[in-house]
A and B are shown apart, each in its own frame.
Chain A
């Protein structure tokens, strides 16, 4: 960060083909050779792609058109993987060839700014895993679960098509443009490309959006741990485990990352198993049985302390643990789904697909499905990761397609697996778990009665089933465990016990799933608070320069307190909300995330226009228009809808009127205090929606203006401002994708013949 372009403005021309070193083999496959290779369709190649297309087509047919009693989960795997392969091979290639035009003769920041620390050329396959671990967390595991209210098909279509046409495109473009700018962040790019107004709006919006995202992720954890002694114990144990790992890495055996990760993992498993034993004892059940408000306060205090502690003590070791778990868990889930192949009984479109008063999240399919599933289809948060860290590690320009576009496809696959896990459990259990207490009544009897009264096809649940499921997973109750994480955990336990361990292992698998989700979320909460704190310090620093000093404790603590206070307030609002926090707040999370995506795509559109790629601007403009329409419509619903379940202000008015009429209970609020809470919460949520949408519209408008200006400039022959770093000739070579092509192999062989002393990297030290 903080790197400035080495000189001011340059034109788009004059940056092509920086002078190469004649003593080295070519640093890029010859364009004509690559072209010929890509256009040569051998019979084997044709047969492969025809087979992929056919298999994908059959899978989509099975999911979308065949209306049997059940559908097998394997079709989800085939439909998604085949579509990803086609999207990757054909669509991302179009983006590469016509819009981005990467040039391997240009050195990447990892080469020309190499410092052995932040800027390090990294093997493409390693970086793929690294980037994937940074972008994938609890988001793709939670959103699809909540969206399953509408049936499996709407979510499946949006996750798969959304990622190919929007989500992966965003990640790829942001990564590429950031790489061309020495790894600058999205905020810095917005400032440069959109000017002061657009840039400031983007910064403020990003800050607010981060607050909302952190708050709602925290809400998911609170909902998963509330009244769950086992969960509280095992997740709580991650803190001492991480502290131990931190001390181990700092003082005992520095640098032994794998070793400490394995120790941490073993301790984690012990904490899960021990949690069951502790929760089984009387004192354990009493001591770790915490209500949601207590857990929320605990999380707020923890969040503040974690964000001011040095990174080495808590954040870094937990990040290792989280990455380690991520790789293992996702591989395990994929293998389990492929091996077990559960039958799905959930209908393609549920009864709630055509209504806007669903119990899990409220609002109509359009636009709310598209905001409920953000991560996995299109996630604006990724733009913050794809700019900054990963671009500083890329070895060759052409690898951005594999890492940026391909990495996001991988996250989408995680979302599909979460969806499969959620729809593989009984629908009655699903609704009993995900509806707020106000509807289910909180007991197995009332919940069963309420679910059966919904009139859902094929759903007839008994209180015994709910009680049995709870006891199988080692919980006192599973009624109204909203937030997605517990449902996913039940689904995962249901699939995994068929794979390993049987019913006896369900409690372990359930708490294993809760544990890794909590781990991902706590890491995101920590990191999010820190990043937001720095953004705030930086912004205040424009007025009071002292705040820009990261090491100035009072400033750092004050800004941390402000950020934690902000997300903490939203979290408490969600926890105490009589309407059930997830139901009202989750759409706000999705809207925030998608607005960030709109901002990122808007910045990308302005950049692409300045590069003169008007003919292919639709690649950015179409997803931008779609996400802008979705989020602005959703915001308008939330602001102006007269249905109290959907509109924040309608709800506010209804409760205010009830209070004015002297009522002491109204709707789901049973006391005057609860009614006042609703009035307060809806007002805050309503105003947040307004601020988000206004800021985002400002960013989008400034981006459109920048695009139009670029078009006029180009038409008039005036060069556009180019904020890319000065091109440096590359002195290294590496292939672009997972499997090198024949031409790439030939070139690699040439490089391998080179004497070692000529292959040394000559970094851009001045």
Chain B
């Protein structure tokens, strides 16, 4: 819903809908966390370069080690 539909989306509405659904599931699963981190990093204008993908995911799970999130019953 953020980006405007690209030409492919206009040509193939089914493919576009599928892509939208896939993007939604990715969001729910948290698969887009790195992309969001990069967006934030670029927007916030830090002087330091962002973590690369491997380092980001390492950092993410390692932080969960000391900050566990509950899962409900």
Show the binding face of A for B, using Cβ within 8 Å.
1, 114-118, 120, 122-123, 125-126, 129-130, 133-139, 213, 217, 249-250, 254-258, 261, 310-312, 315-316, 319-320, 322-324, 327, 375, 379, 381-382, 384-385, 388-389, 521, 523-524, 526-528, 530-531, 534, 550-551, 593, 760-763, 765
Contact = CB atoms under 8 A, between A and B. Distances in A.
B61 A310 contact: yes
A527 B71 contact: yes
A141 B2 CA distance: 35
Interface in B13-41: 22, 24-31, 33-34, 36-41
Contacts of A255: 31, 33-34, 53-54, 56-57
B interface, over-half SS:
helix
Contacts of B44: 114, 116, 761-763, 765
B27 A137 contact: no
B28 A137 contact: no
A530 B68 contact: yes
A257 B29 contact: yes
Contact of B36 (A120, A327, A382, A388): A120
Given A114-B44, A120-B40, A249 B57 contact: yes
13 contacts: A123-B1, A250-B58, A254-B56, A257-B31, A258-B26, A311-B64, A375-B73, A381-B70, A388-B70, A524-B71, A524-B73, A531-B69, A531-B70
A1 B70 CA distance: 13
B48 interface: no
Contacts of B61: 250, 310-312, 316
A523 B64 CA distance: 14
Given A116-B36, A254-B53, A311-B61, A130 B69 contact: no
A117 B73 contact: no
Given A217-B73, A312-B61, A1 B24 contact: no
Interface in B35-67: 36-41, 43-44, 53-54, 56-67
Q: Is the interface of A mostly helix, strand, loop or mixed?
A: helix
B65 A134 contact: no
Contacts of B43: 760-763
Nearest to B61: A312
Contacts of B41: 116
B73 A593 contact: yes
A523 B65 contact: no
B72 interface: yes
A320 B29 contact: yes
A128 B56 CA distance: 24
Given A312-B61, A327-B25, A388 B69 contact: yes
A117 B63 contact: yes
Contacts of A311: 61-62, 64-65, 68
B27 A381 contact: no
Contacts of A217: 73
A512 to B, nearest CB: 20
Contacts of B62: 310-312
B11 to A, nearest CB: 23
A320 B28 CA distance: 10
A635 B37 CA distance: 48
Contacts of B22: 258
A114 B46 CA distance: 13
A122 B40 contact: no
B42 to A, nearest CB: 8
Nearest to B56: A255
Contacts of B39: 116
B61 to A, nearest CB: 4
Nearest to B1: A123
A534 B72 contact: no
A312 B65 CA distance: 8
Contacts of A312: 57-58, 61-62
A319 B28 CA distance: 12
A550 B66 contact: yes
A763 B46 CA distance: 11
B16 to A, nearest CB: 17
Contact of A381 (B37, B59, B72): B72
Contact of B71 (A118, A120, A126, A319): A319
Contacts of B70: 134, 381, 384-385, 388-389, 527-528, 531
A528 B34 CA distance: 26
Residue of B26, B28, B31 with most partner-chain A CB within 10 A: B28
Contacts of B2: 123
A323 B40 contact: no
A126 B69 contact: no
- Which residue, of A126, A256, A312, A521, has the highest number of chain B Cβ atoms within 10 A? A126
Contacts of B63: 117-118
Contacts of A523: 71
Contacts of B66: 550-551
A372 B34 CA distance: 41
B28 A254 contact: no
B29 A261 contact: yes
Contact of B58 (A254, A379, A521, A534): A254
Nearest to B37: A116
A530 B66 CA distance: 9
Nearest to B2: A123
Nearest to B66: A550
Contact of B73 (A129, A319, A379): A379
A129 B24 contact: yes
Given A117-B63, A531-B70, A763-B44, A257 B24 contact: no
B65 A310 contact: yes
A754 to B, nearest CB: 14
Contacts of A530: 68
A528 B69 contact: no
A129 B21 CA distance: 12
Given A323-B28, A389-B69, A389-B70, 9 more contacts: A117-B63, A123-B1, A126-B27, A137-B71, A327-B25, A375-B73, A388-B70, A527-B71, A761-B43
Contacts of B60: 117
A312 B61 CA distance: 5
Nearest to B73: A139
Nearest to A525: B71
Contacts of A117: 33, 37, 59-60, 63
B72 A524 contact: yes
A528 B37 contact: no
A523 B52 CA distance: 29
A139 B73 CA distance: 5
Contacts of B36: 116, 120
A135 B26 CA distance: 18
B15 to A, nearest CB: 17
B40 A531 contact: no
Contacts of A384: 70, 72
A257 B26 contact: yes
A257 B30 contact: yes
Contacts of A254: 53-54, 56-58
A135 B69 CA distance: 11
Given A116-B37, A258-B31, A250 B73 contact: no
A338 to B, nearest CB: 20
Contacts of B34: 255
Nearest to B50: A116
Nearest to A130: B28
Contact of A527 (B1, B37, B58, B68): B68
